[in-house]
Structure 1
């Protein structure tokens, strides 16, 4: 049940997109995500050019999600509205079939996690990303979640490449099977 599609999408809304924790998504959340991405990528330093790029990516993502999900056009997207949009645009589709703004967000998210920009998300980077978002009382659960993501090729490469991350992200959002390979992409889920 923890890895059901509903729980995975709830997790994305609650822990990744609803930055101001007000229970819904709005433009402010996406602007906050842009600042967060620039700060994390710069390890505390903010490059104005990169911040501008992130603002553009997040503004585009907000507009696309808003067009798809804000059914009552109130400028707020509930979790249920978001789920409806994900069902329409992601479920049953490979990564290449995702909306362009979503793909840009996924690539930006990879860069945020890849702290040293070597093109690989290894165990240490995965751990760091998980503990900044969820409560962890036993690091073994995080390590197990990471190892569940890896295939033999990932192990040879030392972790997840951007292409593999994109594939796993498409499984996380687009595959309703709770045993799919991407269910632990953002850590062990407990909701």
Structure 2
């Protein structure tokens, strides 16, 4: 695995460890989903429920791939060893979570997410605001809006792309 992917996976691990206890577990996914849903005021919404369900699905897929000792917790080594497998199945295991996150941030269902909504969701998952704004700027089109396809392309690249020249996807969760 390239050094760039190692850096991205380390960043991803730190975000997924929502409670900061050094391991990833089901409660981290519940906590992160709750933060995101509350940040956009979607506690009772269908979009919020869909996002929470996709967070649970992502946890299950990750646990099946990474929890080699069966203790219900994924440490950094287990994560690093398994995340590539999960990434190879991005469209079915991870992609639905990013799609649900996009819908959650797209308040008016117009197919576009503006910077404020994007930053709100990213900061809710733990990305510092000073990184979330530039991440949006690197992803959005010249009109200052982000489409689902732009997000999905960047998210897929974040998990799989190890070409240092393709900085757009590398900045999804802030500078490495």
Task: Output the TM-score relative to the length of structure 1.
Answer: 0.74
Query: How far is 1:147 from its partner?
Result: 3.5
Query: How far is 1:130 from its partner?
Result: 4.9
Matching residue of 2:149: 163
Matching residue of 2:100: 108
After superposition, the CA RMSD in angstroms is 2.8
Which structure has greater helix proportion?
2
Kept after mapping to 1: 8 A contact 2:122/2:132:
yes
Evaluate the alpha carbon distance shift between residue 176 and residue 33 of structure 1 in structure 2; reply closer, same or farther with a 3 A threshold.
same
Evaluate the alpha carbon distance shift between residue 168 and residue 46 of structure 1 in structure 2; reply closer, same or farther with a 3 A threshold.
same
Runs of 5+ unmatched residues, structure 1: none
Kept after mapping to 2: 8 A contact 1:142/1:188:
no
> Aligned residue pairs: how many?
172
Matching residue of 2:30: 31
Give yes or no for the alignment of 1:182 onto 2:169. Answer: yes
Q: Secondary structure of the residue that 2:56 maps to in structure 1? A: helix
Which structure has greater strand proportion?
2
Evaluate the alpha carbon distance shift between residue 188 and residue 128 of structure 1 in structure 2; reply closer, same or farther with a 3 A threshold.
farther
Mapped to 2, the partners of 1:11 and 1:113 lie a distance apart of: 22
Mapped to 1, the partners of 2:12 and 2:61 lie a distance apart of: 17
Larger Rg: 1
